[in-house]
Structure 1
Amino acid sequence: MVRWSVVLFDSAKALAFKNVPTREEVKEAIFRTLTRNGMFDNSHIRLSLTRGKKVSSGMSPAFNLYGCTLIVLPEWKPPVYDNAHGITMVTATTRRNSPNNLDSKIHHNNLLNNILAKIEGNNANADDAIMLDKDGFVSETNATNIFLVKKGRVLTPHADYCLPGITRATVMDLVVKEGLVLVERRISLSEFHTADEVFTTGTMGELSPAVEIDGREVGDGRVGPVTRKLQNAYKKLAEESGVPIPSYQKK
């Protein structure tokens, strides 16, 4: 609960939202929604926070006089990627947003860059598309954060041109707990082409190994041992942790 709340409330503050629900109100809304729908396992929750009802169609936030509005959208969580055998990726020509234009650390629904990159991936029959920053360094994929493994070290790009994802942060903690070396720095595309292992992280896909990038095999083209180790550690953490859902009486 702590990490999603940081992303939600920090983004709302950066966007100058007013009358934002409290953390307890958001938790209450989530619990009620899950309980009413009988969704206690294998489900994914998407939270959307709008400025609320407007009195005019103008762009000024001053016209949003009745808000905020919180939307809790739960869905059954189907497999998104083949996490057992791995996924393929290509590099998109569409660049990730720069903080000079629109800070990617703000979680918002303006995802046209990512959608355009995903279209490139679809056209290449790839599962995901790698996105570069304005200087040509790897940022993330169109929908996930990205890591590589080289000589036993786990590397991930700085979150300067990407969203610092919840799953990303969890996996970074696990890397350290598992006794592995974690490095966060700028990473060039060629380093991903020559990596021993590559994997992505995201709420829906969790840890997804990449076995091919731009037509090049990653390592030996199979899921690597470090990725497997972190997948198992993540699965164990998910099974052992969480927030109990209170019982609600139907009125």
Structure 2
Amino acid sequence: MLQQFDERNRDIKVFIKDKLHHRDEAKVSVFDSSVQGGDAVWEGLRVYPEGVVCLDKHLTRLHESAKTLAFVDIPSKKAIKEAIQKTLDANGMNDEVHIRLTLTRGEKITSGMDPRVNQNGSCLIVLAEWKPLVYDNSSGIKVISTSQRRNAPQFLDSKIHHANLLNNILAKIQANVAGKDAGLMLDERGFVAELNGSNIFMVKEGVIYTPYAHACLPGITRGTVIELCKENNIPIEEADLTLSQLYNADGVFATGTMGELTPIIEIDGRAILDKNELQQKIRSLFKNNIKGYCEKLT
């Protein structure tokens, strides 16, 4: 599904480093590490009237990713929340908003890979847009398995939520060429990892399964679904899953901040049922509880 331009976003204000700019003037230096090498970390946030869903968990992951990459001058959670609030207030936003929160290593004194030439501190970017959920969750999506594999820890640890997304983008390109909504990525062993932009779950004989987080990002929404299952005595297991198991599942769905819970109705041309009672229960539990996971900024 191709996202469309929303006219409400034509004059939005974007927070960069320490101030707000009109979107047409919102820029980073050509010497910024995000431009030089994709050297940045990011989070996708969803805004509801009740607040930002799972905000503290997102900021914790941002901090941990930045620490792993040895960033210096990492802004505090308090400072980041203040920047988010300023951005939302400037745009009059409080619902149906997606925030792309990015922290780069900052501007370099000269181009190069060495982080020691980053001597100007990190750069925080808060890009808030009016945006509906990325998928139509009433009709579901069709996906195709891709040749592009998801990174394993020996190549690049998926626990780092970094901005170097080329392997995911290549998988999305394959899905686009095939006329499908998303690419289903395997790990280096051939087991299912995740979609190019979201986690995946499978329902089979009364049990919910999701891939181990070896090569996939252990997403925030993924964690929420696991938590809801445990709280409601629904069997949930992490496992190595094959494509054959997904083809023959009672139900399959994707999870992510930008899409919430999305039924997957086709994988590699195989139809997947979307009327599974347990899958419907999980979606209902999520819908009824998601606002309880929201956190006010002030």
Alignment TM-score > 0.5, same fold: yes
SS of match in other structure, 2:152: coil
- State the Cα distance separating 1:245 from its structure 2 match: 4.0
- Residue 102 of structure 1, aligned match among 142, 152, 156: 156
Gaps of 5+ in 2: 1-54
Confirm whether residue 49 of structure 1 aligns to residue 121 of structure 2.
no
1:102-133, Cα deviation, whole Å (9 max, x unpaired): 11111111111111111111111111111000
Residues 121 and 127, structure 1, Cα contact 8 Å, conserved in 2? yes
* Structure 1 Cα separation of the partners of residues 255 and 267 of structure 2: 16
- Residue 226 of structure 1, aligned match among 263, 275, 278: 278
Identity over aligned residues, as a percent? 49
Gaps of 5+ in 1: 247-251
Which residue of 1 is the match for residue 291 of structure 2? Answer: 239
SS of match in other structure, 1:54: coil
* Structure 2 Cα separation of the partners of residues 191 and 134 of structure 1: 18
Matched residue type, 2:260:
E
- Residue 158 of structure 1, aligned match among 208, 212, 216: 212
Residues 95 and 131, structure 1, Cα contact 8 Å, conserved in 2? yes
* Structure 1 Cα separation of the partners of residues 297 and 92 of structure 2: 11
Confirm whether residue 7 of structure 1 aligns to residue 84 of structure 2.
no
Task: Point out 4+ residue stretches in structure 1 off by more than 3 angstroms.
Answer: none
Matched residue type, 1:13:
K
* Structure 2 Cα separation of the partners of residues 109 and 236 of structure 1: 32
* Structure 2 Cα separation of the partners of residues 186 and 45 of structure 1: 32
* Structure 2 Cα separation of the partners of residues 77 and 234 of structure 1: 20
Deviates more, 1:229-238 or 1:81-90: 229-238
Confirm whether residue 84 of structure 1 aligns to residue 133 of structure 2.
no
Which residue of 1 is the match for residue 240 of structure 2? Answer: 186
CA gap 1:230/1:77 in 2 versus in 1, 3 angstroms: farther
* Structure 2 Cα separation of the partners of residues 66 and 228 of structure 1: 50
Matched residue type, 1:238:
I
Structure possessing the higher relative contact order (Cα contacts under 8 Å, 6 or more residues apart): 2
Confirm whether residue 203 of structure 1 aligns to residue 257 of structure 2.
yes
Deviates more, 1:231-240 or 1:40-49: 231-240
* Structure 2 Cα separation of the partners of residues 2 and 182 of structure 1: 24
SS of match in other structure, 1:85: coil
- State the Cα distance separating 1:195 from its structure 2 match: 0.5
Matched residue type, 2:288:
K
Residues 139 and 162, structure 1, Cα contact 8 Å, conserved in 2? yes
1:72-116, Cα deviation, whole Å (9 max, x unpaired): 111112231121121111100111112111111111111111111
TM-score, scaled relative to structure 2: 0.79
RMSD over aligned Cα, in angstroms? 1.2
Deviates more, 1:71-80 or 1:165-174: 71-80
- State the Cα distance separating 1:24 from its structure 2 match: 0.8
- Residue 23 of structure 1, aligned match among 41, 64, 77: 77
* Structure 1 Cα separation of the partners of residues 129 and 201 of structure 2: 27
1:144-196, Cα deviation, whole Å (9 max, x unpaired): 00000000100000111011111111111111122210101211111101100
Which residue of 1 is the match for residue 200 of structure 2? Answer: 146
Which residue of 2 is the match for residue 249 of structure 1? Answer: none
Which residue of 1 is the match for residue 17 of structure 2? Answer: none
